[in-house]
Every structure is written in structure tokens, then in C-alpha cells.
């Protein structure tokens, strides 16, 4: 293979991370989350992570394992189950700090980071308590005739981005097949140290665009450090059209989270082993 072969194992990816890093996680709520990477971080010795995410069970699971120092998010939800139980518990027992933004502000924060800008202006957030609980947040006045006061949404800078895509080649080019790219391209562009893509299936570059449009090639290798094939790796979140959300499993997860003994049993049954063991347990 050429020097552009970026295939890595899950453990190699997670082994390259360091405690205290700021990690951006792609997807949205309980949709196309790089859960195989997340599960591996949970099994690792990493601690003190700062997580930047349109939050779902990725955030919840990392909180459940005590991996998180801070969460930056506009929400944490599992969509069909509105509230994420582990995130709620972490907030309510004060074990994490939380930076809360509107989801449009968050997008501008990603755009700013992806473009290496210090901030981008937006109206979203003005008048709300997002301004109160983020005392460092500043406004900026338009230099043009309108003179409008806007929120100066700071860049959501991150060291590392983790995203999950439907297809990728060994070089790190990646394609989504579902209806929504989410903001995954911005995450990989924003990361300053490394971006890792997990995918349902690795394919030859020549086959990457099979039956598709070039627009579905969301991520270019120029932004990617490593690529890992993790079939069903987004489980239990959605990864359309390869698989939908495993609603029954998500309910089991949420139910177990409500009770320490049940959670212990859930961990033993599904999460204590490696990714292969997990996939066998959930089959």
C-alpha cells in the first residue's frame, strides 16, 4: 500500500489519544455516532476529556465511565428517548462542567473552528440565559451601517474529531449514505491534532462513489489521520441506510442506567469486552 494507507485499529486510534484532550464527536443526538470509538475510550485509561458534541449516548456513556471533565453541547438527547440518563446524572451530581449553547450557535462555532477563525457572529443566543451561564461569551457590533449587536460565537476548537461514516477508503476519504451529513465535515476540519473516521465498510477508492453523487463524499483524506472499519460501529444509534436505531437496545440502555445494579449487569453483559465481544452480545 502507498503512504496514504491510513487504516488503523480501534485500539490504535484510542491509544493515540491523551487524557485532558478536547474531543469532538460527530453525529447528532442518537444518530450516526462513532460508538465503537466511544466504547473503546470507555475501556481505556483516558480521563479528564473535554467533549464537544451534538450530544447523545456518546456523551452519556463517557459520563457513565467517568471519562469526562466537561461537556460542550447544545443538548444531550437520545431522540426517541428525550433525556440521556447518564448525562443527567452527571449534571445533577455535579461531576462534570457544562458549556451550553444554542444548536445554531454551536454550528457557527464549528464553522469558525473549521475555518480557523476566532469567532463568527450570530443572532442566536441574544437575550437568552446562554449568555448568563457563559460569562466569557462576548457580543460584537456590526462595523457596517446597520450597527447591529450580535453574539461573537467563539470557535469550538478541538484537538481530535471522531466521526462515523457509511463508507470510506483506506486513504480516509469517506462517504455518507443517509439523508443527513450532520456537521461531521466541520468536526474533521476543526480538529487540530487528528481526525479519525470509523466506517461501516472499507471499500476501494474506485468503488467509493458506486451509484452515488460526488456530494455524498463528505470527508476528504486531506483532513483525516486514520480510518477504521467498524461494522455496526454506530450501534445502537442510527446509521442509515446500513442500519436504523436499535430502539429495543436503547430502551434497555436507558432502563439499566436508572439503577446501579442493573447498570453493572448491563456493563458486564455488553461493555466489558472488546468491540468484537460487544457486537456478538448485541447480535
Partner 1 sequence: MTEATRAEICVTACAEAWRGDGEILAAAMGTCSVLGARLARLTFEPGLLTTDGGALLTAEAIPLGAEAGAIEGGLPFRDHLWLVAAGRRHVMMGASQIDPHGNTNISAIGDWERPKSQLLGARGAPGNTRCNPTSYWIPRHSTRVFVERVDFVSGVGTDRGAFDLRRVVTDLGVFDFAGPGGTLRLVSVHPGVTADQVLAATGFDLPVPGDVPTTRTPTDEELRLLRGFLDPKALRDREVPT
CB of 40 to partner 1, least distance (A): 26
Nearer of residues 57 and 125 to partner 1, judged by Cβ: 125
Which CA distances in Å does 54 have to 5, 29, 141, 187, 219? 30, 6, 28, 11, 18
CB of 74 to partner 1, least distance (A): 6
Phi-psi region of 125 (alpha: psi -120 to 50; beta: other; left: phi over 0): left
Contacts of 181 (CB under 8 A, 6+ apart): 218
Distance CA 149, CA 34 (A): 38
CB of 224 to partner 1, least distance (A): 20
What are phi and psi for residue 131, nearest 5 degrees?
A: -70, -35
Q: Write out the residues near partner 1 by the rule CB under 8 A.
A: 28, 54-55, 73-77, 82-83, 87-88, 91-92, 94, 100-105, 107, 122-130, 132-133, 178-183
What are phi and psi for residue 170, nearest 5 degrees?
A: -70, -15
Nearer of residues 128 and 279 to partner 1, judged by Cβ: 128
Distance CA 220, CA 20 (A): 27
CB of 8 to partner 1, least distance (A): 28
CB of 142 to partner 1, least distance (A): 15
Nearer of residues 82 and 248 to partner 1, judged by Cβ: 82
Nearer of residues 87 and 270 to partner 1, judged by Cβ: 87
CB of 211 to partner 1, least distance (A): 17
What are phi and psi for residue 153, nearest 5 degrees?
A: -70, 115
CA dihedral 243, 162, 53, 236 (to 10 degrees): 30
Do the Cβ atoms of 125 and 157 come closer than 8 Å?
no
Nearer of residues 186 and 191 to partner 1, judged by Cβ: 186
CB of 15 to partner 1, least distance (A): 32
Do the Cβ atoms of 34 and 28 come closer than 8 Å?
no
Among 59, 51, 57, smallest CA distance to 19 is for 51
Nearer of residues 15 and 66 to partner 1, judged by Cβ: 66
Nearer of residues 39 and 86 to partner 1, judged by Cβ: 86
Amino acid at each position: 500500500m502507498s503512504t496514504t494507507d491510513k487504516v488503523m485499529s480501534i485500539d490504535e486510534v484510542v491509544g493515540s489519544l491523551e487524557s485532558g484532550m478536547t474531543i469532538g464527536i460527530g453525529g447528532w443526538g442518537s444518530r450516526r455516532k462513532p460508538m465503537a470509538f466511544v466504547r473503546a475510550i470507555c475501556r481505556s485509561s483516558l480521563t479528564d476529556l473535554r467533549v464537544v458534541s451534538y450530544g447523545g449516548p456518546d456523551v452519556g456513556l463517557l459520563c457513565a465511565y467517568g471519562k469526562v471533565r466537561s461537556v460542550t453541547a447544545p443538548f444531550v438527547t437520545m431522540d426517541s428517548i428525550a433525556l440521556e440518563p447518564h448525562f443527567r446524572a452527571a449534571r445533577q451530581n455535579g461531576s462534570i462542567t457544562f458549556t451550553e449553547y444554542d444548536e445554531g450557535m454551536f454550528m457557527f462555532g464549528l464553522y469558525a473552528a473549521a475555518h480557523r477563525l476566532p469567532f463568527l457572529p450570530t443572532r442566536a443566543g441574544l437575550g437568552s440565559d446562554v449568555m448568563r451561564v457563559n460569562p466569557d461569551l462576548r457580543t460584537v457590533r456590526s462595523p457596517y451601517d446597520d450597527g447591529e449587536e450580535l453574539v461573537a460565537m467563539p470557535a469550538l476548537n478541538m484537538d481530535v474529531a471522531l466521526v462515523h461514516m457509511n463508507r470510506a477508503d483506506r486513504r480516509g476519504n469517506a462517504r455518507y449514505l443517509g439523508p443527513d451529513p450532520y456537521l461531521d465535515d466541520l468536526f474533521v476540519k476543526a480538529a487540530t491534532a487528528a481526525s479519525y473516521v470509523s466506517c461501516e465498510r472499507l471499500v476501494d477508492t474506485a468503488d467509493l462513489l458506486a451509484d452515488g453523487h460526488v456530494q455524498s463524499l463528505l470527508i476528504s483524506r486531506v483532513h483525516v489521520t486514520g480510518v477504521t472499519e467498524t461494522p455496526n460501529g454506530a450501534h445502537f444509534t442510527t446509521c442509515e441506510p446500513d442500519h436504523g436505531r436499535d430502539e429495543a437496545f436503547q430502551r434497555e440502555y436507558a432502563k439499566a442506567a436508572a439503577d446501579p445494579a442493573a447498570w453493572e449487569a448491563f456493563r458486564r453483559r455488553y461493555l466489558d469486552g472488546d468491540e468484537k465481544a460487544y457486537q456478538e452480545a448485541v447480535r
